[in-house]
Structure formats: structure tokens, C-alpha cells
Amino acid sequence: MLKYQDVAKKIQQAIYQQNLPKGTQLPNIEGLIQQYQVSRTTIIKALNRLERHGVIYQIQGSGIFVRQPKKQGYLNFLESHGFSVDLNDLPGSSQVFNVDVMQPNVKVKEYLQCEDDEYVYYIKRLRLVEGKVYGFEQSYYRKKIVSYLNKEIAENSIFSYVKDICKVNIGFSDKYFKAIKLDEDIAPYLGLNAGDPALCVEEIFYTSSGEPFDFSQIIYHYDNAKFFVQSHSK
């Protein structure tokens, strides 16, 4: 984690831990420099990151203020933090069905740019929030980048494991949305009926060097899943 990212995380944690309401003014840049003992450049980059993520807003000549916190239990529709980060205000869990090593099918091979002799980890799990089914997820991780996965890891935050243990620098993602009707294979996992509506989200995650390492598809429960979007004019 880069220094400005670490400082941004600490400022965000302080806001949440103190339960600061919307409009609360934070220390100015000089005050934050003293508080976190970092350079002006680091603080400015940290504040810009927090502003992009909807945590704060800045008014030139007036100061730095806490933005309206997101509603409890809502996923950020545009960010790619994962359940563990976005839903840390509610108890969540994963029910893992399998963690298998396999050769990718044509679609996965194309999305992940796999070589002919490559293998991937295939993970199938339910994502639960407060005991309710939020979504059904199928994920494929390139074994050459994420060398080891098991059920215990998959029951928690795979991304934390990938970053902290595998030392993969996660860069960016491409996300695709479509409305679907559930088929007879997927519907039972969600406790719904074939033909019921659902939101299908497919996402390809890349390392900071632009190499794809994870292709995931999540099909969200039409009644339980909730989302929000925070826009930024800059």
C-alpha cells in the first residue's frame, strides 16, 4: 500500500470510528500534515482519493468536510472493493461450494488472456449479508498469479489474501452489467424460481501492470441486494 493510500485509510477509519455526521469539518491540510506526519503532497493525494470515493468533499477557501455516509447495507455500484469492504457495516459471510483447479473454458481463457497450458482456480460461493442471500458468485483466478487458494480463504476476503499474502498489486477492473432471467441451474442457489429477474455483473480484475488475474460473475438477488452510486464532478 502506498503512503497516501495508507493515510487515506486512516482518515476514513477516523471518520467512521467517531461516527462524524455529514458536514463535519476536518482539520485543514496543515493540521493533517502535523497529525499524520507526512508531506503536503501525500495529504493532498490522500484527500483527493477520499473525495473520489465519496468520503469527503472539499470547498476551496472553506475547508474539508465529511460527506453523507452511505446507507447501511448498500454496495457501491461503481467501485470494486468487494463485499468485505463495502459491507463492513453489516455481518456478512460466504458459503463456499467448491474450490477447484481446472483449465479455463473459451470465455474465461479469452477474458483472462490465458496461455494454452494455464490453469485457473474456480470458486463457486454464495454471498450472504445478515443471513440473507445477496448473490451467487462464480470466480476464476489465474494460478500463475494467485498460486494457492482453498475453501478457508474463499470463506473470507480473497482480495485481502491476494494483496497481503500473494503480494499482488491490484490495479483496476472492467465491469459489465446486464439484466437476466434466472435459469434452472442458478435459481435454487438464490432461493428463487427459474424465470425470476436478476442483475448479472461480470468483472475482470487486473494487476497494476495491466495483467488480468480474476474473472468473476455475480448474480444478485433481486429483493435482497441494494446498491448506491456517489458521483463526483471532477
52, pLDDT greater than 60:
yes
Distance CA 66, CA 86 (A): 18
- So what's the pLDDT on residue 92? 64
Domains of the chain from N-terminus onward: 3-66 (1.10.10.10), 75-228 (3.40.1410.10)
Facing residues of 138 across strands?
Answer: 124, 217
Which among 167, 161, 144 is positioned nearest to 213, based on CA atoms? 144
Q: Nearest-5° angle of CA 54, CA 59, CA 60?
A: 135
Neighbours of 117 (CB within 10 A): 7
Which pLDDT belongs to residue 130? 81
Distance CA 49, CA 41 (A): 12
Decide if 105 contacts 147 (C-beta within 8 A).
no
Residue 194 clears pLDDT 70, i.e. is over it: yes
Tell whether the model's pLDDT for residue 88 goes beyond 60.
no
Tell how far CA 44 is from the center of its chain. Answer: 24
Strand pairing category for 92-102 and 120-129: antiparallel
Angle at which helix 40-52 crosses helix 3-17, to 10 degrees, equals: 60
94: pLDDT confidence band, cut at 50, 70 and 90?
Answer: confident
Q: What would the grid cell of residue 45 be?
A: 493525494
pLDDT greater than 60 at residue 106: yes
Quick one: pLDDT at residue 83? 53
Q: What is the rounded distance in angstroms from the CA atom of residue 124 to the CA atom of residue 95? A: 9
Whether the CB-CB separation of 60 and 66 falls below 8 Å is answered with: no
Helix (H) or strand (E) holding 190: helix 187-190
pTM attached to this predicted model: 0.75
Q: What is the pLDDT of residues 107-139, one digit of tens each?
A: 999 999 999 999 999 999 999 888 889 999 999
Any idea what the Cα angle at residue 72 is, between residues 25 and 23, rounded to 5°?
Answer: 15
